[in-house]
Amino acid sequence: MVYSPVQAIIDESRASYLNDPSKNQFTDLNMLSAVKTAYNFLQSKMELNDLSIKYKTHQKKIPAGDKAYNGLPGDFVWPLNVEERLFGSTDEFAPMIQRSVEPVPTGPVVSTTLTYWSFRQLDDIKFSPSNTDREILLTYLSVFPEINTFKDNVFGNCQEFLKAKAAAIVHLFISQNTTLAEQCDKIAENEIDKLIRTYVKRTQGIPSSPMPYINTGW
């Protein structure tokens, strides 16, 4: 995956859309805040369009008797699919069944598989335990790398959107120039539409199985 440094996006936005390459009006701190906001807009747009670029997988051993995943990935947002197989085997992963309430076993654990999972509490994935060690393949919605400093990198191929959107934000809320804010926003929307079309086109030829409906039990 390609990444772009935050400082470069800020400098190019200031030079291209704000006519302030010398930082006389829009400081680095102003621009960093705007880029963070624009980056959050980008993530929301990606999620709304269900783009697989936000999907990741994670494999983990679930020891016999365990009732939870216990250690979700750091960039985890939401489970999309959960599969299992015997730990240490080369078997194909078998799909598990999502339940709207936490699986609660009664009596001794006799099952050799986990079979059921739930995400009702939104803090961990819960299982009905098995009496064998299992391996889980989790497919999940992820977050992009965070932006905290000017040296951080952001998801690539989106720099043109971020440059225009950040400029629209500072034009609107700092210089209060609605005309320029609207023009920059139009450019940003055009850029993100092109980006989405590009990723949709890339994934059209990839065979896949539909993700199950996520039922939280609410």
pLDDT (tens place) for every residue of the chain, 218 residues total: 567 899 999 999 999 999 999 999 999 999 999 999 999 999 999 888 888 788 999 999 999 999 999 999 999 999 999 999 999 999 999 999 999 887 766 677 889 999 999 997 788 999 989 999 999 999 999 988 889 999 999 876 899 999 999 999 999 999 999 999 999 999 999 999 999 998 887 666 544 444 444 443 33
Q: Token match 């199985």: residue?
A: 209
Give me the domain span that covers residue 97.
Answer: 53-142
Residue 133 bridge partners (DSSP): none
**Residues 39 and 70 placed together within one structural domain of the fold:** no
Q: Token match 């790398």: residue?
A: 145
**Residues 60 and 134 placed together within one structural domain of the fold:** yes
Contact call for residues 135 and 85 (beta carbons, < 8 A): yes
Question: Which of the 8 DSSP states describes residue 68?
Answer: B
In whole angstroms, what is the distance from residue 124 CA to residue 98 CA?
Answer: 13
**Residues 65 and 44 placed together within one structural domain of the fold:** no
**Residues 73 and 178 placed together within one structural domain of the fold:** no
**Residues 126 and 58 placed together within one structural domain of the fold:** yes
The pLDDT value recorded for residue 207 is 46
| Final residue before a domain boundary, out of 122, 142, 162 | 142
| Final residue before a domain boundary, out of 142, 176, 211 | 142
Which residues, at least 6 apart from 177, have a Cβ–Cβ distance to it below 8 Å? 171
**Residues 95 and 70 placed together within one structural domain of the fold:** yes
Please state the domain count of the chain.
Answer: 2
| Final residue before a domain boundary, out of 111, 142, 173 | 142
Q: pTM of the full predicted structure?
A: 0.73
With vertex at residue 104, the alpha carbon angle to CA 102 and CA 108, rounded to the nearest 5 degrees, is 155
